[in-house]
Amino acid sequence: MNELKKVVNAVLKQQKLNLAPSTYDARKNYLKHLVDHGDSLGISEPCQELYDSYVSNATTPDLRFQLFHAVRLVDKEAGTKAFTPDGKLYNEPEIPSASEAEKGFQNISFPIMDGRIDAGLLIRRAESEMIYLQLSASTSWQYMQAWRELYTFLYLRGDTLFTRESCNAFVADTNQKHQNGSLNEWKRKIRHRSVCVLLEVADTGCFQWKLFLSKKTRCSDDTLEELRQQYLTFLRTRNFEKKTISLYDYALRSFIEGTGVPDVNGLGELQPSHIQSMLVLLSERLCLNSRGTVFPIIRQILSYLYAAGFIPADFSGMVLTPAYKNTHLRPYITASDEEKLFRAIEEAPLRTKAMMRLGLRLGLRDIDICCLRFSQIDWKNDQIILEQEKTGVSMCLPLLDDVGNAIMDYILNERPAEAEKNPYVFVRMQAPYKRLESMYMVCSKLFDKAEIRTVNKDSRGVHVCRYTLTHKLLLNKIPHQVITDALGHVSKESDKPYLSMEEQMLKECPLDFSQIGQKYWEEGDHFV
């Protein structure tokens, strides 16, 4: 008797104990066909080739199910770890239950040493540690699916014990599949984040929600990473904002990438040609406006590295801020495009509808919309009283009917119930339900959907809504002081960029061309 027949007989023996006679007879028939199919192919033992050939005979969904189930039983008994035509295991390894995980951690202390416990137990621990986030069912499923894929990855490697090296290998395999196009971006992100959660639980026994940085933000060489951390510490001592530190960090990593230094010792051999290569790289990568922001930071980095003794000379003089003509005309959208935008808003989520109306109808800044609190909305008197985040100055705006209705519609019908204790009106749609940091992407996507191009220059942030409101007020001859109060400006100087949008008055300012072409020459001591 060949190996295939032995395995099938063992499967039938088990199935006979668990199935009704009629079901058993049907199952026996499909398994017998599998053996006969193997004989016709000259295959005498369970293998991937046999399974693939057998299931390819399926002509209907019902037959496909029966053939797959027969193969699944044989694969499990034989331990062949075969894959379906879709690339999944016929028999994925089962992750231990939550009760098994609870028992497994009774005598375990953190951090967990590599090879100490089964990765499945740690996955269950991570799952329980994330309950407080109140994730949606779909998000929880995505995390668990990523953990199942990790567990399957370990299973195929021959050992499901948790080790940090195997987790990193899973991330590397994920990145490789993403690069060759077999794995999409969102799948790569959830896998990476799931591993980060697992590693944090292994180190601390718990998990606190945070943004995980990609390994791309880390220097490939340990000595350069140590220098980077030293520089970030230096920036923190100067009380820089987090966003500013992130920008400086990006500039430093771009500098390292552009110069191509392999380690800290390579900085000591830096030459002007390396600086030039780095500037060329950044010039190709960044737009003109961004170069005007990043290049001065590169100069500061070079001065810092020279003062700290990492580079042989102060190359900061080689980096010049690119010259460009900064237009004083502010971008806005035309009346017809504004109608298109409002139509797009009507089809958008309720949060987007409310936030965009605050920008278009009241001219609020991005940060003031994101930081709007319930306490700042006076529903009885139909007004919004807030302290501007940028200036700290209080302002009172009318709560227009369409704006108030949009906000109320969002609060009642879309705002997550789990965020009821959050003082901010607009929060994330997924846990943790914190306030939004920016609504740039919300506005930008709507501009793309409505196919809107701004007048004067291509902009798509919320400030375009503010400029558009100002443009409409100017066209309607609203007094400048009223516009100043509506925008919440403190200084008249702040009004100048906005008043430059008053096109008719600008046309009256330029000098005429009567003096062009006139000749002037000196005759003796006089000009003629």
Give 303-346 pLDDT, tens digit per residue.
999 999 999 999 999 998 876 656 567 888 999 999 999 999 99
Residue keyed to tokens 């009223």: 482
Rg for the chain, CA atoms, rounded: 33
Long-range contacts at 3-7 (CB < 8 A, ≥ 24 apart): 3/44, 3/45, 3/46, 3/78, 4/34, 4/35, 4/38, 4/43, 4/44, 4/45, 4/46, 4/50, 4/74, 5/35, 7/46, 7/74, 7/77, 7/78
- Mean local confidence (pLDDT), 488-514: 66
Q: Which of the two residues, 394 and 488, has the higher pLDDT score?
A: 394
Pairing of strands 526-527, 377-378: unpaired
**Single pTM value for the model:** 0.59
Q: 424: pLDDT confidence band, cut at 50, 70 and 90? A: very high
Strand partners, 394: 387
Residue 528 has pLDDT above 50, yes or no: no
pLDDT tens digits, 209-260: 776 655 556 777 889 989 999 999 999 999 888 889 989 999 999 999 999 9
Q: What are the residues facing 435 on neighbouring strands?
A: 427
Choice between 383 and 456, residue whose per-residue pLDDT is larger: 383
- Burial pattern 222-234, b for ≥16 Cβ within 10 A else e, equals eebeebbeebeee
Specify the DSSP class assigned to residue 386.
E
CA distances from 96 to 113, 151, 356, 455 (A): 19, 11, 47, 60
In the predicted structure, residue 31 carries a pLDDT above the cut 60 = yes
Nearest-angstrom CA–CA distance, 98 and 269:
56
pLDDT average, residue stretch 274-284 = 92
Strand partners, 385: 396
Which 8-state DSSP code applies to residue 387? E
Give the integer Cα–Cα distance in Å for 367 and 243.
14
In the predicted structure, residue 412 carries a pLDDT above the cut 70 = yes
What is the reported pLDDT for 496?
Answer: 66
The H or E element that residue 459 is part of is: none
Position 405: which residue type?
N
Using one digit for the tens of pLDDT, what is the confidence trace for 86-98?
888 999 999 999 9
Scan for tokens 């800044």, then name that residue.
Answer: 365
Q: d(Cα 128, Cα 96) in Å, to the nearest integer?
A: 13
